[in-house]
Amino acid sequence: MKKTTTLVFLLALFFNDVSGQWYEKKYNVSDINFLTREQLWEAKNDANNGLYISLAVAGLGGVVILLERLIPYSLEDEEDPTFFEQLLGDKGMHIVITGAGIGLAGGGAIGSLVYLGRSGTIKSAINRNYPDSGSLTISPAILLEKYSHSVSPGFTLVYRF
């Protein structure tokens, strides 16, 4: 048991080190702020495409689950059932198809969350590094009064012209 736990821990460290950030893999930079405007727009388009594909996979999983609930699998409907279908039977095939639908829906949902977060990060980097003229930025700030050294929360308002 100790060997298995140690092996799983070492594999987790290895895979954690391999994953890295997406911009390190694709553009060989250590920080997203080093990307050019064109690279950021390309990455934003890639993230949006990945988001749409992930949502489609999640929707496909939902359709598989819905169809299996509405029209359950039956061996009587098959003209020539395979050995696998005969081995599992109606109930087993129902579980396999429902599990596949849940896997698709879950994988698509996780992928869509990842791409949604990536798209937000890219949009934030574009707005921070390449602001448009006429843009208005409101952000929270901590205001420090010089004489009494009191601190109060506030907002900064920046207009670029």
Residue 145 scores a pLDDT above 60 = yes
Domain count, the chain: 1
This prediction's pTM:
0.68
φ and ψ at 158, to 5 degrees? -120, 125
* Owning domain of residue 45: 2-159
Question: What band does 50 get if pLDDT is binned at 50, 70 and 90?
Answer: very high
Question: What band does 11 get if pLDDT is binned at 50, 70 and 90?
Answer: low
Residue 47 scores a pLDDT above 60 = yes
User: What's the burial of 160, exposed, middle or buried (CB within 10 Å: 0-12/13-18/19+)?
Assistant: exposed
Residue 97 scores a pLDDT above 60 = yes
Question: What band does 74 get if pLDDT is binned at 50, 70 and 90?
Answer: confident
